[in-house]
Chain A
Amino acid sequence: MSYQVNGHTVEHDEEGYITNLADWNKELALEIARTENIEMDDERWEVVNFLRDYYEEYQIAPAVRVLIKAIKKSMGPEKGNNKYMYELFPYGPAKQACKIAGLPKPTGCV
């Protein structure tokens, strides 16, 4: 199973998470988003970039409640809430945004 971006093949697992985190780039993110029926805009990129920074610092993809709390602290309550985040990523902000960000499935997702 793989994504095709600019003639490159990027492997992913059965749920669509890429196998090698180093394969990620913005074009790939757009391709993953397309398969998720998500149109990337500034607001969504903000969350995806936030997740990548979080992973870079802590080496985990946060659980959804942890992500929302962290976004609230970093960007304020108008963005750090369930409604806003599920509007951006209807199938789950942690799951969908993590997939687009090229991260593993969130730890603590039950």
Chain B
Amino acid sequence: MSTLHTVNKSPFTNTGLQSCLDHCKDGDAVLMIEDGVYGALAETVMAERVAGRIGAVSLYVLLPDAAARGLAEKRMLNGIAGVDYEGFVDLVADHDRTLAWL
């Protein structure tokens, strides 16, 4: 029984990612989409908090949204996996519920 969390806002203007990290459980997955992909960046004020959950929580970034914003994978934290739209659908199907952090 695990949850897929989606985050679609930049962590630098919105508390969604922080709140998500505070509420997600070990074994859950967090998928960053839309402006949420900025949460995947390394060397930011959020990076340490995000990195701290890698392992306990599976972290994903939606690649088309990252590409649109010019976020190269080498700029992202290690341990965050990229997924395409098909991967997004698989994640939804593989979890018991989806919780959107708007």
A and B touch in the complex (CB under 8 A): no
- Please give the residue numbers on chain A whose beta carbons come within 8 Å of chain B beta carbons, in ascending order: none
